[in-house]
Amino acid sequence: MADRPLIAPSILSADFARLGEEIAAVADGGETRADWVHVDVMDAHFVPNLTLGLPVVKSLLASTDVPIDCHLMIDDPDRWAIGYAEAGAYNVTVHAEAAKDPIALAKNLRAAGAKAGLSLKPGTALEPWLDALKHYDTLLVMSVEPGFGGQSFIADVLEKVRTARRLVDTGHLKLIVEIDGGINAETIEQAAEAGVDCFVAGSAVYGAGDPGKAVAALREQAARGRAG
């Protein structure tokens, strides 16, 4: 388990006209600093929404030293994901439901300099992907259906988190357990108790008056949840 809960604000909930400033708001030192910045790339094919792509990610990478966590909700990640790793993204996550050869893709992402992440939709079982996950650095459990911000948390996915946590704790997997969707002051403690390491939070951070303070508060809550 990560030494402390990791908070990854999602810029899907930020002001797209002010992305540099919005990231800077969670980039100061201390407890108000985000551990990662979560960037959702949607192609209007794998999911019905369209957000941003590699040129914008390159601009964000040049504007901050906070590690960029790219979540690719796209078709054919085997072709497109490597570009994000080569650009300097810290972690590049692809969807199990879209990857043609997830093991080869993980190896290619790592060779390009990034951590490799595999994401599962709420309805996707963990067990068929356990062999592939041995090649990954991050498991991103979706706690909403991918494609839109502001959805309600699906608590049923926490059983998937608990299984992954047990496999990590027993040494069968070596990865960070990340969760994305509906994470806020009401849900973060139960996610932490289930064994999540990294919490993606959108409106809970960027809907707050002070995003940095929101990061610190969420991390404190997650630590309480982890402590039981």
pLDDT tens string 45-70: 999 888 999 999 999 999 999 999 99
3-state secondary structure of 219: helix
Which pLDDT score, from 0 to 100, does residue 151 have? 79
| CATH code assigned to 6-227 | 3.20.20.70
Which two structure tokens, joined as six digits, stand for 91?
């972690």
| 8 A C-beta contact, residue 179 and residue 140 | yes
Q: Which of 138, 160, 158, 151 lies closest to 202 in space, CA to CA? A: 151
pTM: 0.96
Q: Which of 41, 144, 48 lies closest to 87 in space, CA to CA? A: 41
Q: Which of 31, 36, 37 lies closest to 217 in space, CA to CA? A: 31
CA distances from 138 to 6, 31, 44, 93, 190 (A): 13, 23, 24, 8, 20
Look at strands 68-73 and 37-42 and give their pairing: parallel
pLDDT digits (tens, 9 = 90+) for 139-157: 999 999 988 767 789 999 9
Residue ranges of domains in the chain:
6-227
Catalytic residue among 35, 40, 43, 69: 40
Query: Is 180 considered catalytic here?
Result: yes
Query: Is 65 considered catalytic here?
Result: no
Catalytic residue among 35, 69, 137, 180: 180
Which two structure tokens, joined as six digits, stand for 17?
């006209």
209 known ligand binder: no
